[in-house]
C-alpha cells in the first residue's frame, strides 16, 4: 500500500471514530453529564481528520504542479 492510499484509509477509519465520538457526546449531553474528556473524545479524531483531509485535498493539486514542472523541464 502506498503512502497516499494509507492516508486515505486512515482518514476513512478516523471518520468512523469521529462519528462514534459524536454519538457518545450526544448521549452524554442528553444525560446532562458534564465531562471534559467526552468533548475531547470527538475533538482529537477531528484534528487528525483535518490534517489527513488537507493532505488528501492537496494530492491532486500536487500532482498537477509536478506534471507542469515535468513538461517545462
Longest CA–CA span in the chain (Å) reads: 63
Instruction: Looking at residues 4 to 23 of the shown chain, list those that interact with ligand HEM (rule: CB under 6 A).
Output: 8, 11-12, 15, 18-19
Q: Please report how close the Cβ of residue 30 comes to ligand HEM at its closest, in angstroms.
A: 20
**What is the number of the residue whose Cβ is closest to ligand HEM?**
53
CA 68/CA 31 separation, integer angstroms: 56
Among candidate residues 22, 5, 11, the one with its CA nearest the CA of residue 50: 11
Contacting positions for ligand HEM (CB under 6 A): 8, 11-12, 15, 18-19, 46, 49-50, 53-54, 56-57
Amino acid at each position: 500500500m502506498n503512502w497516499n492510499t494509507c492516508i486515505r484509509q486512515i482518514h476513512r477509519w478516523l471518520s468512523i471514530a469521529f462519528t462514534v465520538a459524536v454519538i457518545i457526546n450526544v448521549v452524554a449531553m442528553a444525560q446532562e453529564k458534564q465531562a471534559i474528556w467526552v468533548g475531547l473524545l470527538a475533538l482529537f479524531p477531528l484534528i487528525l481528520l483535518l490534517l489527513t483531509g488537507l493532505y488528501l485535498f492537496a494530492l491532486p493539486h500536487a500532482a498537477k504542479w509536478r506534471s507542469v514542472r515535468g513538461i517545462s523541464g
